[in-house]
Amino acid sequence: MATVKRDRPKTSRTKKTASAPEVARVTTQTIDIQQAIRARAYELYQQRGGGHGQDWEDWFRAESEVLSHFGARG
């Protein structure tokens, strides 16, 4: 059985961009989350007595806690 090739209707393929308020909101939210992670990581550092060598563990734990609080998955 032969296949019939059909032309698709022409549509404009413009890239959808976010408006300025949307960009500002996303950027502000991202900064808030980063600040919250930094603050929580520092709290964890202080709770451990300020010992060196576990900065990554503090950061990843803080990141996990903050993102779960904001409802994000990471």
pLDDT tens-digit readout, 5-21: 666 666 555 556 666 66
| 51 belongs to a structural domain | yes
What whole-number distance in Å separates Cα of residue 67 and Cα of residue 59? 12
What whole-number distance in Å separates Cα of residue 48 and Cα of residue 61? 13
| 49 belongs to a structural domain | yes
Reported as a pLDDT band with limits 50, 70 and 90, residue 43 is very high
Predicted confidence (pLDDT) at residue 55 exceeds the cutoff of 60: yes
| 38 belongs to a structural domain | yes
- Nearest by Cα to 68 from 33, 25, 23, 22: 33
Q: Which domain holds residue 63?
A: 20-70
Exposure pattern of 4-28 as b/e (b: 16+ CB <10 Å)?
A: eeeeeeeeeeeeeeeeeeeeeeeee
